[in-house]
Amino acid sequence: MSSGITLELLGVVAAIATLAVLILRGTSLRSERFEHVLRAVWPDVWRLRRRVVPLIERAYPPLFAVGWATREQLVGVVDASPAAVRRELRAQPDVYPGTLASLQYLRHDGKRVFEVGSYARRPDGLFGKWQTHVRVFPVPGEPGKSRIAAHHEYNPWYAPVRHYRAVEFDVERGAAEARRMLDRFKWIAAASVP
């Protein structure tokens, strides 16, 4: 197991332990303190998701754990590495890693190119009504660039059925929000898939 995945697993354990302590101390799940601590410890497990989610897909296909990112959701390409984009998104106070999101991919030369980051902007906190979901993909052969996909939708923690049925799923609003979230980077290409 790679050291990155090991660190991600430790992050999950630390987050669960921290949340358990807060809950045992009677901290309200909707309190500002809970949100602040949760934001600080919420793990970014993109490496672990890339390893585990395809196994889930093979074991239980109806779960739809892996899916194809549609062309409609593609926002464009930024002149920044996936690592730089991940850091930028994680630095934003209302952005959480999409730990439980499905794993998306694009096709390049007939092969799957899996996302290397999934993030949800939730301006009303983890349990808020809406989220803008941003996915980060590598650009094959161009390590200093990232392809971005996004959409705006119900937050699955708030309305799981509406979320998974894509009720009020809005790619235009998601694209506009993703551009604002990543406005410090130069957008070098419009939405496209090779």
For residue 185, tell me if it sits in a domain. Answer: yes
Per-range mean pLDDT, top range of 19-23, 46-50, 107-111: 107-111
Residues 94 and 169 in one domain: yes
| Mean pLDDT lowest among 61-65, 152-156, 183-187 | 61-65
- Greater confidence (152 vs 126) lies with 152
> 35 and 115 share a domain?
no
Are residue 151 and residue 81 in the same domain, yes or no? yes
**In this structure, are 38 and 64 located in the same domain?**
no
32 and 70 both lie in a single domain: no
Q: Looking at the chain, how many residues does it have?
A: 194
* Same domain for 95 and 170: yes
Distance between CA atoms of residues 142 and 103, nearest Å: 21
Alpha carbon distance 177, 183 (integer Å): 10
Query: CA 25 from chain center: how many Å?
Result: 30
pTM for the complete prediction? 0.85
Mean pLDDT of the 86-110 span:
91
Is pLDDT at 19 greater than 90 in this prediction? no
Q: Which domain, by its residues, includes 74? A: 60-190
Rounded to a whole number of angstroms, the distance between the first and last alpha carbons of the chain is 32
Judgement on whether residues 36 and 75 belong to the same structural domain of the protein? no
Buried/exposed 80-107: b ≥16 CB within 10 Å, e otherwise: bbbebbbebbeeeebbbbbbebbbbbbe
Tell whether 97 and 147 lie within a shared domain.
yes
- Are both 34 and 110 inside the same structural domain? no
pLDDT band at 169 (very low <50, low <70, confident <90, very high): very high
Q: In terms of Cα–Cα distance, which of 90, 81, 3 is closest to 44?
A: 90
**Which of 185 and 6 is assigned the larger pLDDT?**
185
- pLDDT of 191 reads 58
What average pLDDT does this structure show over 99-108?
Answer: 87
| Region 46-75 average pLDDT | 82
The pLDDT of residue 113: 92
- Structural domain tally of the chain? 2
48 inside domain = no
Give domain status of residue 49, yes or no. Answer: no
Tell me, yes or no, whether 50 lies in a domain.
no
Q: Amino acid identity of 168? A: E
Look at residue 178 and tell me if it is in a domain: yes
Q: Determine the Cα–Cα distance for residues 96 and 121; give it in Å rounded to an integer.
A: 6
